[in-house]
């Protein structure tokens, strides 16, 4: 089979005279190995490795900050350095979702900005 994963993205910016829209075509991805991992994890204020569960190879990952308010805690996300530290690459704001494609062999680290926060992880193996 092919194209088991279909992703549709769109975004609209309307701020006074500034108006833009991003609406690429559907992204179709083949899942060659059956696998998924979808936990809710508790993210602490100390850097920790993002759990991949049984998904051992690269995949598409959706990360959702489950903070109940838009003014709550953000989550720092990034690869692990050679000293096992977080290299902050992304900030996942409260109630926001990020979509990333993970490369096999990269350890992704996460850390809450101020206090413990829940994050929904959906990782589909490719």
Q: Which domains does the chain have, with CATH numbers?
A: 33-125 (2.60.120.10)
- pLDDT score of 58: 76
How confident is residue 77, by pLDDT bands cut at 50, 70 and 90?
A: very high
110 beta partners: 48, 77
Helices (H), 24-117: none
- pLDDT score of 1: 66
- pLDDT score of 22: 94
Q: Whole-model pTM?
A: 0.87
Q: Are 63 and 98 spatial neighbours (Cβ–Cβ below 8 Å)?
A: yes
Q: Residue 120 pLDDT > 80, yes or no?
A: yes
């Amino acid at each position: 089979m092919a194209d088991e994963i279909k992703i549709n993205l769109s975004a609209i910016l309307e701020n006074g005279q500034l108006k833009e829209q991003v609406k690429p075509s559907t992204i179709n991805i083949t899942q060659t190995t059956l696998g998924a991992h979808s936990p809710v994890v508790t993210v602490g204020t100390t850097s920790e490795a993002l759990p991949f569960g049984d998904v051992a190879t690269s995949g598409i990952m959706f990360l959702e900050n489950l903070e109940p308010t838009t003014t709550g805690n953000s989550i720092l996300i990034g690869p692990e350095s050679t000293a096992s530290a977080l290299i902050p690459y992304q900030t996942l704001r409260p109630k926001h979702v990020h979509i990333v494609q993970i490369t096999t062999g990269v350890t992704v680290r996460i850390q809450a900005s101020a206090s413990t926060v829940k994050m929904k992880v959906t990782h589909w193996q490719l």
